[in-house]
Structure 1
Amino acid sequence: MRILEIREKAVPIKSSISNAYIDFTKMTASIVAIVTDVVKNGKRVIGYGFNSNGRYAPSGILRERFIPRLLEAKPDDYLNEEGTNLDPHKIWDILMTGEKPGGHGERSVAVGTLDMAVWDAVSKIEEKPLYQLLAERYRGEKPDDKVFVYAAGGYYQPGKGYKELQDEMKGYLDLGYSVVKMKIGNSLEEDLRRIEAVLEVVPSGQSLAVDANGRFDMETAISYAKALEPYNLFWYEEAGDPLDYEIQAELAKHYKNPMATGENLFSMQDARNLIRYGGMRPDRDYLQFDCALSYGLVEYMRILDMLKEHGWSPRRCIPHGGHQMSLNIAAGLGLGGNESYPGVFEPFGGFADHIPVENGYVGLPDVPGIGFETKAPLIKLLHSLAE
């Protein structure tokens, strides 16, 4: 078998929403299709991928560096030993040929996008859902049959007051979510009023997480920590710059409740530095590394191995991104859950159309691959690229 073609296109995921750092009015994402010569059930196997929200489409480096490298490789260099399927680990090595370590930038996003398409193709060729393939290959047991998911929302938006924020959060609970998340970071006084408004409509502080998107300096992060602690929230997320491990470590001395960070760390090495120097606590804190932004699942498995060496359970990992790739990883490799964006960043966010969220958990479809075919608006977009 061999790869016949790889296609890429940048598409908009623009929205009027904003967090404490950026707005999303000009946000884009890359979609890719890896076309193989394999035919299953009368259809050519095509693997699809895309990058998560929050990072722009890496079209330039995909087309100039990474896609040509893979297309120029010989099939023996990227196939498994039997020659019957793609080998994601070999492909990762091909993609990173000639790349110096460090300074990840958009490179990690480009590789993560292609890596997603590779795994989609691999599991389609095996005629198994990706979560089943991962559980069999790397976990040696059955995958989880459902995954905890929380609803990420509560963005700043023109004309959005307390009532609209409350209605949004009640809507997530009505959809079956048990935990919701909102943005903070504009001002402590305003954010406390917004938090208290949400706490009027959710069961308790344990049903609410807050996210500062790396906005705070040390003094502000600690001020928020002291004000937030009495609410007993689900977590306090990304208080300071993601690479400022000192802020995160100091914050742990001032905030006893769970914290979360990691969505903007894009390599095993950066993740390891967070664990070494960031003061994260394996008994209560959460790690949010997103494979679609951080060199893909191949690199994510290196992160999981590193975490195990440092005494962390994979159940403390709840990836950022709200997409089906992370959902498959969570079920297949036994993570603690997955983010969700109900009605936001469509058509990329969300899961299978026919499987509802129930009591904070969602099931996975029994279809080969990542399951994009079970999400109608998304597969329509992906098919426009490749078929």
Structure 2
Amino acid sequence: MRIVEVREMAVPISSDIRNAYIDFSKMTASVVAIITDVVRNGKTVIGYGFHSNGRYAPSGILRERFIPRLQEASTEDILNEDGTNFDPHRIWDVLMTGEKPGGHGERSVAVGTLDMAVWDLVAKIEEKPLYQLLADRYRKGQVDDKVFVYAAGGYYSPDKDYRKLQEEMKDYLAQGYNVVKMKIGGASLEEDLRRIEAVLEVVPSGRSLAVDVNGRFDLETAIRYAEKIEPYDLFWYEEVGDPLDYELQAELAKHYKNPMATGENLFSLQDARNLIRHGGMRSDRDYLQFDCSLSYGLVEYMRILDMLKEYGWSSRRCIPHGGHQMSLNIAAGLGLGGNESYPGVFPPFGGFADGYPIEDGYVGLPDVPGVGFEAKSDLIKLLRTLAN
């Protein structure tokens, strides 16, 4: 049992949409394929991975550092103790050999991309869906048969007026979502309030709407917005300031009683722990959005879950960023609170398996070995170009 080859390519996910900080006109993502000599049902087992939107393809460090380390590793260093499968934890140690602590940045994205492919591989070799493998190993076999998902959209774009914003949100509700999300912070306070109020006209209540600042505000602006939106009783107020400004987050909690969310741009156990220690996050109402594909993968994500338990947080307060099948498997297998979804945005990476509609805000998962990429036709078509 060995890895024969690891391949990577950068693909565009360009779009004319923007949030409060960036536009996506030149955004890319890395896709990887880990090809093995293992055969199941007459086919070579290949693990696929990619990373979430918002970070550019880390092709250089993947090809120069991390892929060579994996390909050069001895069999004993990457297999489990009985030699029957690859070991994601041992592979993670191989990938991080020679890396100093700190300086997470794009390194965490590169490792997270490979880690996704490794878990896809491991589950395929065991001929189980990843969510079932995770539940069997870490949750006594208990699987959530459906997962809460919310529709992330409401981006700024040149032709999106209030009516089109409303139509977008009504379409998400018609698809079966109960909670929708929109961007704020890319316009004036007055304009954003008009946009929010336009959406509130078409959703059931404020609890059906989340707003996302993408880290744009200083403390003064964050508090001004908080005072204006608190009466709306929104689902959450997301990533209000710089993700590493824990003092801002802690101070904001004194001025805003309703739920907040953050964490999608924290890329390590250490950063996540500092948020819990110093960010004023409230375990009874706030949400954590760590995304395994951006933060050293599922191996690191499980360390974060262990840390959260030590600090009295439930895994149900975790609703990962990214809107992809990897986080959906983690949510179902490890008992998270839900997962983001990108209906119609960032294709083909966003969205879930074909034939699994959103019903009353929840989605099911297919009984397919691995992460389930093979059950998403547009995505697997792209991924398979790496293996040809």
Asked if TM exceeds 0.5, the reply is: yes
Name 1:195's counterpart in structure 2: 196
Is the CA contact (8 Å cut-off) linking 2:132 and 2:141 kept in structure 1? no
TM-fit CA distance, 1:20: 0.4
Q: Residue by residue, what CA displacement relative to the aligned partner does 1:356-387 show, whole Å, maximum 9, x if unpaired?
A: 00000000000100000011010000001113
**1:242-257 to 2 correspondences below 5 Å:** 242-257=243-258
**1:134-283 to 2 correspondences below 5 Å:** 134-185=134-185, 186-283=187-284
2:315 matches 1:314? yes
Name 1:78's counterpart in structure 2: 78
Give 1:133's aligned amino acid: L
Mapped partners of 1:325, 1:44: distance in 2: 21
Name 2:294's counterpart in structure 1: 293
Mapped partners of 1:54, 1:321: distance in 2: 9
Give 1:134's aligned amino acid: L
TM-fit CA distance, 1:159: 1.3
Mapped partners of 1:62, 1:19: distance in 2: 28
Give 2:97's aligned amino acid: T
Q: Residue by residue, what CA displacement relative to the aligned partner does 1:192-242 show, whole Å, maximum 9, x if unpaired?
A: 000000000000000000000000000000101111100000000000000
Mapped partners of 2:266, 2:178: distance in 1: 27
Q: Residue by residue, what CA displacement relative to the aligned partner does 1:64-107 show, whole Å, maximum 9, x if unpaired?
A: 00000010001111000111110000000000000000011100
Q: Please tell me the root mean square deviation across aligned C-alpha atoms, in Å.
A: 0.4
TM-fit CA distance, 1:40: 0.3
**Count of aligned positions:** 387
Q: Residue by residue, what CA displacement relative to the aligned partner does 1:8-41 show, whole Å, maximum 9, x if unpaired?
A: 0000000000000000000000000000110000
Mapped partners of 1:322, 1:157: distance in 2: 20
Mapped partners of 2:354, 2:346: distance in 1: 15
Is the CA contact (8 Å cut-off) linking 2:264 and 2:321 kept in structure 1? yes
Mapped partners of 2:387, 2:56: distance in 1: 21
Name 1:332's counterpart in structure 2: 333
Mapped partners of 1:152, 1:101: distance in 2: 33
Name 2:115's counterpart in structure 1: 115
TM-fit CA distance, 1:141: 3.0
Give 1:276's aligned amino acid: R
Mapped partners of 1:241, 1:142: distance in 2: 37
Structure 1 stretch displaced more, 133-142 or 92-101: 133-142
Name 2:105's counterpart in structure 1: 105
Q: Residue by residue, what CA displacement relative to the aligned partner does 1:319-370 show, whole Å, maximum 9, x if unpaired?
A: 0000000000000000000000000000000000110000000000001000
Counterpart secondary structure, 2:33: strand
Is the CA contact (8 Å cut-off) linking 2:109 and 2:293 kept in structure 1? yes
Give 1:378's aligned amino acid: L
2:57 matches 1:57? yes
Where do 5+ consecutive residues of structure 1 fail to align?
A: none
2:43 matches 1:34? no
Identity fraction in percent:
83
Counterpart secondary structure, 1:48: strand
Mapped partners of 1:158, 1:246: distance in 2: 35
Mapped partners of 1:298, 1:100: distance in 2: 18
Counterpart secondary structure, 1:353: coil
Q: Residue by residue, what CA displacement relative to the aligned partner does 1:105-130 show, whole Å, maximum 9, x if unpaired?
A: 10000000000000000000000000
TM-fit CA distance, 1:139: 1.0
Give 2:85's aligned amino acid: N
Mapped partners of 1:178, 1:84: distance in 2: 43
Q: Give runs of ≥4 in structure 1 deviating > 3 Å.
A: none
TM-fit CA distance, 1:318: 0.1
Mapped partners of 1:75, 1:340: distance in 2: 37
Mapped partners of 2:159, 2:73: distance in 1: 53
Mapped partners of 2:36, 2:80: distance in 1: 14
Give 2:176's aligned amino acid: G
Give 2:294's aligned amino acid: L
Where do 5+ consecutive residues of structure 2 fail to align?
A: none
Counterpart secondary structure, 1:335: coil
